[in-house]
Structure 1
């Protein structure tokens, strides 16, 4: 008697597998359709080869979702969450979770970022002067970082917020220990802060109109960390968005981060790090206690889910305000492609140019 090639269990497995593949394909192709009013969370996924200047080639995965805690409120913008992971051929790995949670009533919001990372990176030093003079070296960094801001709406546009940060960083396999300029290889910090914000943006991840102004002061108490002093940090952001013609948005960004002189290296500013400002520079090529940058970007919708951008900017890092040197201001400009991955949320591919450098940046949501 002839035996069947497939059992009933095999058929059920194949059907489930085909159904899962079809569901994934539909979520990818139709991911830009707003499903937040009919689903608890509208998720999309992607796995693909990846490349970063710091990590070289590898494999990356991403899951991003939009959701509403009150699906009857059509005025409040949706909440978002993005999970990413990347493993590269040189041992570089990162796991991140970021998001903005808008609570019912549209009176408060929690923004957060969590990162686990192990990176073998190029290293020039921990100050602008050192980075400009030292030959290329190398080190391995392991880092766990949590940053969160809870803001409460005081009026239609004004918010007051509280910040809570954790930062653990450790350096190993340093080729030249003198590049640390006497600092320790490992630190832990706990930050507590307060912020004031003016925010009229229509959507945080892809603003098309509005103004965002933020002042934040964070204290890192000595007794809540491994450094022998209490530290203070001041952050300022001014962003503006304006429609210029059909499908065209002009966006501007001014960013300042100010720390005390002799701030430990994990709290120092790395020009180009994160792919939001001074895009194209190798993260860590220029490091110092303070950073000041400015950029203007033209965003143009092309067709359906495609768009493009062009930007020009400038910035620098420096040890303290009185030692800010105009000769150390660095240029930045570039072009980018936008693909609407979720409803009003873009996947972005940028190529940025700088002083004797250039590189790709892959990310989700706009740079600012």
Structure 2
């Protein structure tokens, strides 16, 4: 009986719908179907049984693998090309960490083919030694007038170390002192186009830093400096940008100069001025290879609060140095990086860099130059957007960095 029922269902599923007998009403028999010229059958295609069968659901691992396999495929119909990925990193002072980053590419006017794509990156991090951080950065190109808005917002808190506020203090391992720090920063740069490649406009930044749980030599190193600093800066910014793609340039130049003031009438404890300059260039070296170079400097004049001093070490510059170990009023750093595409979505980079912090130009010394080198792996997460794993070497140790987009 079961076999007959199954065979009947199969025959019914493969029978054209218009040829099936109508169901009998209650108390009546079903009559044969009659086809007449005036009652032509509707054009309904046969429905095979296998299309009615439910497709098995894919497991979580399979869906994740497919997501990453297709993450770099172009999505022309999507208004926002969004993706998210996480990965590990390690540094001796912060411990093992897990970073989570998200990337978005979009256009504020899809009808304007000359408008550059806007981008946004959301990043977060947590480590075994209490480092907690979340941030957002991006560049938005507004339609019609092609105004440009650069922004950065982040907050973090973690147990940190302090060595001092000059090269002699910072280079002394005996000065290493533990304290905890919370920092909040927001920056916005609104740029108006001067021509095809140049922009000019105002810049504003707010920073809040609170230090606590001072141990070892930290109270003596601070020397009565305030533990909580609230700082507001305003100024003007100039940008010259001929890069073919800002997140992963293969050719062009990028020049950015910020001149800012921190006057007391904005609520600052002291008045000081700062100038920051970044010059970067990119060119093809050979097939699949990009040679990139950057020169960066930040100079300050006046009574600079200790958290706002220029420093060495970050995920973008002097990778491998503990961020903030070397501090002073001024810093100059440079790096050269070779980026080589290897296979499919995989690539490698190597870099060399150097930096020096100093209170004035008369204090520059060749022996105080801080060397830097490293190697990294690149995986194309999206078209033109790379996930990077960098392992940097410094005078004092090494550092492992997980991030998104190129360092510069």
Q: TM-score, normalised by structure 1?
A: 0.89
CA apart distance, 1:148: 1.6
Tell me: CA distance 1:71–1:53, structure 2 relative to 1, closer, same or farther (3 Å).
farther
Aligned pair partner of 1:167 in 202, 207, 212: 207
* Deviation, structure 1 residue 321: 2.5
Partner residue of 1:109?
A: 148
- Structure with higher strand content: 1
Q: Find the aligned partners of 2:193 and 2:66 in 1 and give their Cα distance.
A: 38
Partner of 1:62: 101
Deviation at 1:293, TM superposition (A): 0.5
Paired position in structure 2 for 1:188: 230
Asked if 2 retains the 8 angstrom alpha-carbon contact of 1:53 and 1:360, the reply is: no
Match of residue 280 from structure 2: 239
Question: CA 1:52 to 1:40, structure 2 compared with 1: closer, same or farther past 3 Å?
Answer: farther
The yes-or-no answer on 1:118 pairing with 2:160 is no
SS at match of 1:260: strand
Residue correspondences, number: 351
Query: C-alpha displacement at 1:318, in angstroms?
Result: 1.1
> What's the secondary structure of 2:403's corresponding residue?
strand
Question: Which runs of 5 or more structure 1 residues have no equivalent in the other structure?
Answer: 1-14
- Residue from 326, 341, 345 that aligns with 2:381: 341
1:129-208 matches, within 5 Å, as 129-133=168-172, 134-175=174-215, 176-208=218-250
- 1:4 aligns with none
| Residues 300 and 308, structure 1, Cα contact 8 Å, conserved in 2 | yes
Superposition map of 1:34-113 within 5 A: 34-35=74-75, 37-105=76-144, 107-113=146-152
Question: 1:126, 1:288 within 8 Å by CA — same for their partners in 2?
Answer: yes
Cα distance in 2, alignment partners of residues 129 and 185 from structure 1: 22
Q: What is the CA distance between 1:138 and its match in structure 2?
A: 0.7
Partner of residue 319, structure 1: 359
Query: Quick one: distance in 2 between partners of 1:225 and 1:23?
Result: 52
* Deviations 1:93-141, CA, capped at 9 Å, x for gaps: 0011111111113622111111110011122122222212343211101
- How far apart are 1:49 and its partner, in Å? 4.1
CA distance in structure 2 between the aligned counterparts of 1:106 and 1:297, rounded to whole angstroms: 35
- Contact 2:234 2:262 (C-alpha < 8 Å) held by counterparts: yes
Q: Which has the larger radius of gyration?
A: 2
Q: Are residues 342 and 213 of structure 1, via their aligned partners in 2, closer, same or farther at CA, if it must alter by over 3 Å? A: same
Deviations 1:24-54 (A, max 9, x none): 554432111232x321211111244443454
1:118 and 1:57 map into 2 onto residues whose CA distance is 16
Distance 1:79 1:217, change over 3 A: same
Distance 2:374 2:258 in 1: 29
CA deviations on 1:331-368 (whole Å, 9 max, x unpaired) are 11111111111220111111111224222122111111
5+ residue gaps, structure 2: 1-54
Aligned partners of 2:161 and 2:176 also within 8 Å? yes
Change (3 A) 1:317 1:179: same
Quick check: 1:301 aligned with 2:341?
A: yes
Q: How far does residue 73 in structure 1 lie from its aligned partner after superposition?
A: 3.1
Is 1:214 matched up with 2:256?
yes
Superposed CA RMSD in Å reads: 2.2
3-state SS in 1 of match to 2:250: coil
Shift of 1:81: 1.0
Residue 316 of structure 2 is matched in structure 1 by 276
**Structure 2 length normalisation: TM-score?**
0.81
**What's the secondary structure of 1:156's corresponding residue?**
coil
Match status 1:264 vs 2:305: yes
2:71 aligned to 9, 31, 36, which one?
Answer: 31
CA distance 1:26–1:278, change in 2 (3 Å): same
Pair 1:330-2:334 in alignment? no
